[in-house]
């Protein structure tokens, strides 16, 4: 009987050691050679770049070794940061490029805040990401072409920001998209062929393409007159849109929602 008890005790000891070994593997997987958790460093950099009036990120502590207990942070079963959920928290400031170091992220929800500045190109390093919602902020600048690296992306919401420039052609490489909402920004140019079940671009009066209100051939017609002369031609009287050439300048003029818009390009 004593041998049986001893055998059971030995087995239990080995089991405990095995569990501890597994936990150590999980905890050290995110440590740098200096013993610093790189996910902690990345999250604290994100916190530092944001203004947090209600201190919702108060327990994001650089001295912590495990961010999985932090508010608004979700970890996977193997101990990696898999989601950031910070919607409607009155956050402002900018989004740190350090978010690209959280390479196990699957979901980023930062909608309904007042975060400004560019969308960091480093976000394209998050190859496991399936949901990215930055809607209803004040992000500006162009959409990073690195978004085309998010091969597992299903949901992309960048609507109601101040993004400018073209929609990157790289998005056409993403075959798993279910929803893309780019509405109510200041995007311009032609749209790439994006394979998404739902694709919204309303509220971008300078954009054109199959999903836009204007066909590209109508918005940017081939000039048929000498650029040395001042000329203007309306191609759609109902929407009051037109283009002109003045010397080496190409311009467009249109009326939308009681406002006049103009663009000027050197040729």
Which of 249, 204, 190, 254 lies closest to 223 in space, CA to CA? 249
Give yes or no: residues 232 and 124 share one domain: no
Find, among 154, 149, 144, 142, the residue nearest to 126 by Cα: 149
Residue 256: DSSP 8-state = E
Question: Beta partners for 181?
Answer: 157, 200
Of 25-34, 107-116, 165-174, the least confident = 25-34
> Who wins on pLDDT, 57 or 264?
57
* In-domain check, residue 192: yes
Q: Which residue has the higher pLDDT, 104 or 214?
A: 104
Can you give the residue range of the structural domain that contains 225? 221-267
Distance CA 256, CA 156 (A): 26
In this structure, the answer to whether residues 202 and 165 fall within a common structural domain is yes
In a domain, 42, yes or no: yes
Give the CATH number, domain containing residue 173.
Answer: 3.80.10.10
How far is it, in rounded angstroms, from Cα 79 to Cα 40?
12
Distance of CA 213 to the CA centre of its chain: 25
Reduce the DSSP state of residue 225 to 3 states and report it. coil
Q: Are residues 189 and 254 in the same domain?
A: no
Quick one: what percent of the chain has pLDDT higher than 90?
Answer: 58
Q: Are residues 146 and 267 located together in one domain of the fold?
A: no
Residue 144 has pLDDT above 80, yes or no: yes
**In terms of domains, do 202 and 127 share one?**
yes
Burial class (CB in 10 A: 0-12, 13-18, 19+), 113: buried
Q: Which residue has the higher pLDDT, 222 or 71?
A: 71
Per-residue pLDDT at 172: 93
Phi-psi region of 198 (alpha: psi -120 to 50; beta: other; left: phi over 0): beta
Task: For residue 1, tell me if it sits in a domain.
Answer: no
Domain-embedded: residue 132: yes
103 has a pLDDT exceeding 80? yes
Query: What is the number of structural domains in the chain?
Result: 2
What is the three-class DSSP state of 147?
A: helix
The CA angle 125-118-168, to the nearest 5 degrees, is 65
Check pLDDT > 70 for residue 221: no
Report pLDDT for 251. 54
Shared-domain flag, residues 45 and 108 = yes
- The chain-wide mean pLDDT, for the chain, equals 78
**Residues 87, 169: one domain?**
yes
3-state SS track over 159-208: CCCEEEECCCHHHHHCCCCCEEECCCCEEEEECCCCCCCEEECCCCCEEE
Query: Is a pLDDT exceeding 60 seen at residue 140?
Result: yes
* Whether residues 191 and 258 fall in one domain: no
Q: 149 and 226: one domain?
A: no
What pLDDT is stored for residue 195 in this prediction?
Answer: 86
Specify the pLDDT at position 206.
85
Q: Centre a 10 Å sphere on the Cβ of residue 220 and count the other Cβ atoms it contains.
A: 15
Q: Is the pLDDT at 182 greater than 70, yes or no? A: yes
Statement to judge: residues 231 and 179 lie in one domain: no
- The verdict on residue 9 lying in a domain is no
Terminal alpha carbon distance of the chain = 95
- The average pLDDT across 149-168 equals 97
Considering the domain architecture, whether residues 104 and 48 belong to the same structural domain is answered as yes
């Amino acid at each position: 009987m004593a041998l049986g008890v001893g055998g059971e005790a030995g087995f239990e000891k080995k089991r405990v050691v095995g569990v501890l070994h597994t936990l150590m593997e999980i905890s050290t997987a995110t440590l740098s050679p200096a013993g610093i958790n790189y996910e902690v460093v990345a999250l604290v950099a994100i916190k530092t770049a944001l203004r947090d009036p209600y201190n919702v990120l108060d327990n994001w502590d650089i001295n912590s070794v495990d961010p999985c207990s932090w508010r608004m942070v979700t970890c996977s079963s193997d101990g990696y940061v898999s989601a950031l959920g910070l919607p409607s928290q009155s956050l402002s400031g900018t989004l740190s490029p350090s978010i690209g170091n959280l390479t196990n992220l699957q979901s980023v929800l930062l909608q309904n805040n007042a975060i400004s500045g560019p969308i960091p190109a480093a976000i394209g390093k998050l190859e496991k990401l399936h949901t990215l919602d930055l809607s209803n902020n004040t992000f500006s600048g162009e959409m990073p072409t690195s978004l085309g690296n998010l091969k597992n992306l299903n949901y992309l919401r960048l609507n109601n920001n101040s993004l400018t420039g073209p929609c990157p052609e790289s998005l056409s490489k993403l075959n798993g998209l279910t929803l893309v909402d780019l509405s109510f920004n200041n995007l311009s140019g032609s749209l790439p062929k994006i394979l998404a079940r739902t694709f919204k671009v309303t509220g971008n009066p300078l954009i054109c393409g199959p999903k836009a209100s204007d066909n590209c051939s109508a918005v940017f017609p081939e000039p048929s007159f000498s650029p040395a002369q001042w000329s203007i031609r309306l191609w759609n009287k109902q929407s009051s849109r037109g283009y002109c050439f003045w010397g080496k300048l190409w311009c467009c003029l249109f009326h939308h929602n009681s406002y006049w818009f103009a663009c000027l390009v050197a040729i």
